[in-house]
Chain A
Amino acid sequence: MNIKKTVTLCLLVASTQLAAFAHQQSISNASPKRCQAEQLIAHYEQTFGEHHEHANIATHNPNHNHNQAQQQKSTVQQLTLLRKGNRVAHYNPEQKVANIWYLNRHKQQQLTRVFERYQQGIEYQADELKAQQQWHYVRTLVDHALLASMSHQKASGAGCQRLEHYTLATATHEFQLQWLPALALPQSLVVTDKQTHQTSRLQLVDIEYGDKVVEQFTVWDALPTTDYADVGDNENNPFLAKMINQGFSGSPNAHAHHHH
């Protein structure tokens, strides 16, 4: 049931072949002595709307305008995941916006959205209703329901390097996941739309460990924040006024939302 939702999710997180090459070097170079899954910085590249090579087999589909589809440019975005215990941040380096989640001991998820350009943040209400399912996505970039519904194909490597391959085909999409179980992170996730033959990729490019994670969270924590509920009463704050006039761009937790 969550699969449909997950597709949208995966379309938001995906990568290029260049990145696929890059990751092979950096992963091996940066491998930690032991698996430091609870304190890391994982750099991802997401590619949307990439046209898959195998799509050529679809020329018999009369509804599919192949030339037009090939002209579509794929878009590439960077995504950095920072993990420090029960805190996780998703950072967009182009927009300089970080969504920082904290899972408290009451299993509530508190979200703070930091706008580095404005040196300010917005604090959202702790979300007590859907925390557990959401948290898996927040922490690993892969929806729990998706992972649970995939079939394990093969595995290679051992320990921190162990890589598991999962696949899933639904009526509309094909999913290919290369999963790093020790880190609970995808090395890559490729989603192909069976109709349009477009793929979205999420590709691990680099992983860092050590104090840098702590330092980054400290920098974000020092920024002043405003409660979500107070935005409406703060027309005179230029940062908030900009948001009031133009709306927030992007949604902080739309792909982590599971209603119904």
Chain B
Amino acid sequence: MYSRWMLRSLIASLLATSAHAAVLPEIQKSSAWYSNAEQVINTKLQQNTKDKAKNVILFVGDGMGISTLTAARILQGQMAGQSGEEGYLSFETFPYSAQVKTYNVDAQTPDSAGTMTAMISGVKTDVGVIGVDEDIERGNCATVKGNELVSAVELAEIRGLSTGVISTARITHATPAATYAKSADRNWEDVSDMPEAAAAGGCEDIASQLVNFEKNLEMRFPGIDVDGIEVAMGGGRRHFLPKDAAFNSADARSEVEGDRTDSRDLTAEWQATYEHGAYVMDKAGFDAIDPATATKVLGLFNESHMQYEADRANDIAGEPSLSEMTSKAIDILDNNDKGYLLVVESGRIDHGHHAGNAYNALNDTVEFAKAVQAAADATNPEDTLILVTADHSHVFTIAGYPKRGNPILGKVVAVGSDEPSLASDGMPYTTLGYTNGRGFADLGSETNADAIYGIDPNAGRKDITAVDTTTPGFHQETTIPLSSETHAGEDISLHAKGPGAHLAQGVVEQNVVFHLINQALGLLND
């Protein structure tokens, strides 16, 4: 079927070429635009993608909507001295893509908890809940039982594949948590975040579920024997340590780093369970891991979220980048001949946007694209399916009529002009903006987007004539004042390459992502 269709297309294109080629003027035929685009179709005609993969890597850019991709792609090109518009982020060159509907069962505009649960378990659910279906009542521990979903990571473990979960957010944050935990509330990251009734009712906090993953899975499915998540790396040390300064690590920035009120040191528990495992908390520890021999890694590189990529050098003890974590994880996971499932989240694109700071959102997106490239470089396209998607969008826009090559973080300068265009209020305006949020701030060289939270919201038009809007510390203007910029409800994209990638097509519900993984790995086959 497939090849017959291919043949017909080929014949059709040959006919078209011979019959009508003369119609095209030379300037059209010899245009690079024309020939490059023609080449794209020719390449697609030769695609023959297999269905089954040995390995799957799912990349999730948290809050990475379409406008974020476009702007990041331009920024990436401009940082390399080009115009920017003509380039691609690494995964944008993947052969297949789909448009993804992100809403949660009870919410038009979704959050990461509901969306990641859909992607990793195949079932859409409510906003704010992790690994449970829509029959849950958010925050009510008693409603968890019987509503737990099984994630692709759990299925992969059961089939003997190696598994990994990486995030630049806290490893207990919504997106990574949905791969391994079941929780009536995304915020139950450690026991101190839970209402007393929840803890008393037998609900386990998310950090504890990560450490007890193997034990819990074996208990839920008697008779199975799994060996636990091989690689878990991210931030969020506070949820693993007791609320006691004696447990502070060298990297602590708070007086008491840990938040746990049950006196448990989960890093010690993890090390006791996996005595050959490596628990690391800084760049030096990360670098010391030998991927050829490592069997289990728990990396907790920050008390809370890891740094923005632009701010990474400022971390006290040093942190690996997302691409470094991705490469190392693949190096470890591919030691398993049965294959692996790796989930990689760039968690802070979302935070840059929430802070109304395009610089950090885009810079982290560029690093995310590097991580995808590192994965593509380190794997065999014949046996590894790479999926790249987002969980939801943000109210982030690319607007006005800037000329080609205009700095994407700059003010709008029109075609044929060298001066910023002026709005009807007589003031210049930036190409990038937010519909809502905290609004304008000029923090200059500040690389931490979250410095904005120390300053009052400042919505509305400001005179930015004398402001350099391309600095890391510039926060774009907004219309609707909110304490934090919000998610947006439009569709996001899914990019795919490798075996099974051709099934990523059309407009799909987000929970189709699970079925792409499942189809490729045959997780539920007998």
Output the residue of B138, B457, B483, B487 with the most chain A CB within 10 A.
B483
A79 to B97 Cα, complex, angstroms: 58
Stretch among A5-13, A22-30, A122-130, A159-167 lining the B interface: A122-130
A231 to B338 Cα, complex, angstroms: 41
Which listed residue (A221, A224, A243) contacts B483, Cβ 8 A? A243
Q: Is A195 an interface residue (CB 8 A)?
A: no
Q: Do A245 and B454 contact each other (CB < 8 Å), given the known contacts A104-B253, A233-B112?
A: no
A125 to B355 Cα, complex, angstroms: 13
Stretch among B1-9, B284-292, B440-448 lining the A interface: B440-448
Which listed residue (B138, B316, B446, B450) contacts A229, Cβ 8 A? B450
CB distance from B168 to the nearest CB of A (A): 11
Q: Is the CB of B484 within 8 A of A244?
A: yes
Q: Is A250 an interface residue (CB 8 A)?
A: yes
Q: Is B481 an interface residue (CB 8 A)?
A: yes
CB distance from B169 to the nearest CB of A (A): 8
Q: Is B26 an interface residue (CB 8 A)?
A: no
Q: Is the CB of A234 within 8 A of B187?
A: yes
Q: Is the CB of B443 within 8 A of A259?
A: yes
Q: Do A228 and B450 contact each other (CB < 8 Å), given the known contacts A104-B253, A245-B482, A248-B483?
A: yes
Could you give, for residues 433-453 of chain B, a 1 whenever the CB lies within 8 Å of some chain A CB and a 0 otherwise?
A: 000000000011010101101
Q: Is B455 an interface residue (CB 8 A)?
A: yes
**Beta-carbon contacts under 8 Å, B351-382 to A:** 351, 354-355
Q: Is A260 an interface residue (CB 8 A)?
A: yes
Q: Is A251 an interface residue (CB 8 A)?
A: yes
Q: Is A116 an interface residue (CB 8 A)?
A: no
Q: Is the CB of B450 within 8 A of A125?
A: yes
Q: Is the CB of A106 within 8 A of B253?
A: yes
Which listed residue (A108, A229, A243, A252) contacts B253, Cβ 8 A? A108
Q: Is B47 an interface residue (CB 8 A)?
A: no
Q: Is A31 an interface residue (CB 8 A)?
A: no
Q: Is the CB of B454 within 8 A of A124?
A: yes
* Residues of B in contact with A, size category: 35 or more
A130 to B40 Cα, complex, angstroms: 52
Which listed residue (A108, A125, A229) contacts B354, Cβ 8 A? A229
Q: Is the CB of B453 within 8 A of A257?
A: no
Chain A: residues with Cβ within 8 Å of the partner, total of 41
Q: Do A253 and B187 contact each other (CB < 8 Å), given the known contacts A104-B254, A229-B351?
A: no
Q: Is A87 an interface residue (CB 8 A)?
A: yes
A221 to B245 Cα, complex, angstroms: 13
A126 to B453 Cα, complex, angstroms: 12
**Beta-carbon contacts under 8 Å, A103-141 to B:** 104, 106, 108, 110-111, 122-129
CB distance from B361 to the nearest CB of A (A): 12
B456 partner residues in chain A, CB cutoff 8 A: 247-248, 250-251, 254
User: Which single residue of chain A is at the shortest CB-CB distance from B354?
Assistant: A232
B355 partner residues in chain A, CB cutoff 8 A: 229
Output the residue of A108, A124, A232, A237 with the most chain B CB within 10 A.
A232
Q: Is the CB of A232 within 8 A of B255?
A: no
Q: Do A247 and B193 contact each other (CB < 8 Å), given the known contacts A106-B316, A125-B451, A233-B111?
A: no
A232 partner residues in chain B, CB cutoff 8 A: 350-351, 354, 484-487
A127 to B455 Cα, complex, angstroms: 14
Q: Is the CB of B454 within 8 A of A252?
A: yes
B473 partner residues in chain A, CB cutoff 8 A: 259
Q: Is B127 an interface residue (CB 8 A)?
A: yes
**Beta-carbon contacts under 8 Å, B170-226 to A:** 174, 186-187, 192-193
A127 to B314 Cα, complex, angstroms: 10
Q: Is the CB of B450 within 8 A of A124?
A: yes
Q: Is the CB of A102 within 8 A of B254?
A: yes
Q: Is B304 an interface residue (CB 8 A)?
A: yes
A227 to B456 Cα, complex, angstroms: 17
Q: Is the CB of B350 within 8 A of A233?
A: yes
User: Which single residue of chain A is at the shortest CB-CB distance from B307?
Assistant: A125
Q: Is the CB of A247 within 8 A of B354?
A: no
Output the residue of A87, A221, A229 with the most chain B CB within 10 A.
A229
CB distance from B7 to the nearest CB of A (A): 50
Q: Is the CB of B112 within 8 A of A247?
A: no
Q: Is the CB of A110 within 8 A of B254?
A: yes
A123 partner residues in chain B, CB cutoff 8 A: 254, 304
Which listed residue (A122, A124, A247) contacts B482, Cβ 8 A? A247
Q: Is the CB of A254 within 8 A of B455?
A: yes
Q: Do A129 and B453 contact each other (CB < 8 Å), given the known contacts A244-B482, A247-B483?
A: no
Q: Is B497 an interface residue (CB 8 A)?
A: no
Q: Is the CB of A251 within 8 A of B455?
A: yes
Q: Is B305 an interface residue (CB 8 A)?
A: yes
A259 partner residues in chain B, CB cutoff 8 A: 443-444, 446, 473
**Beta-carbon contacts under 8 Å, B412-463 to A:** 443-444, 446, 448, 450-451, 453-457
Q: Do A247 and B457 contact each other (CB < 8 Å), given the known contacts A125-B448, A229-B354?
A: yes
B481 partner residues in chain A, CB cutoff 8 A: 247
Which listed residue (A127, A229, A244, A250) contacts B304, Cβ 8 A? A229
Q: Is A236 an interface residue (CB 8 A)?
A: yes
A111 to B174 Cα, complex, angstroms: 25
Q: Do A244 and B483 contact each other (CB < 8 Å), given the known contacts A110-B254, A233-B112?
A: yes
Which listed residue (B255, B351, B444, B451) contacts A127, Cβ 8 A? B451
A248 to B186 Cα, complex, angstroms: 23
Q: Is B398 an interface residue (CB 8 A)?
A: no
Q: Is the CB of B454 within 8 A of A236?
A: no
Q: List 14 A-B contacts (CB under 8 A).
A: A124-B450, A125-B451, A126-B253, A126-B254, A228-B453, A229-B348, A229-B450, A232-B354, A232-B486, A235-B111, A235-B486, A248-B456, A254-B455, A257-B454
The 8 closest A-B pairs by CB, nearest first: A232-B354, A232-B484, A126-B253, A228-B453, A247-B457, A229-B351, A243-B483, A244-B483
The chain A residues found within 8 Å of chain B, CB to CB, are 87, 102, 104, 106, 108, 110-111, 122-129, 221, 224, 227-229, 231-237, 243-248, 250-254, 257, 259-260
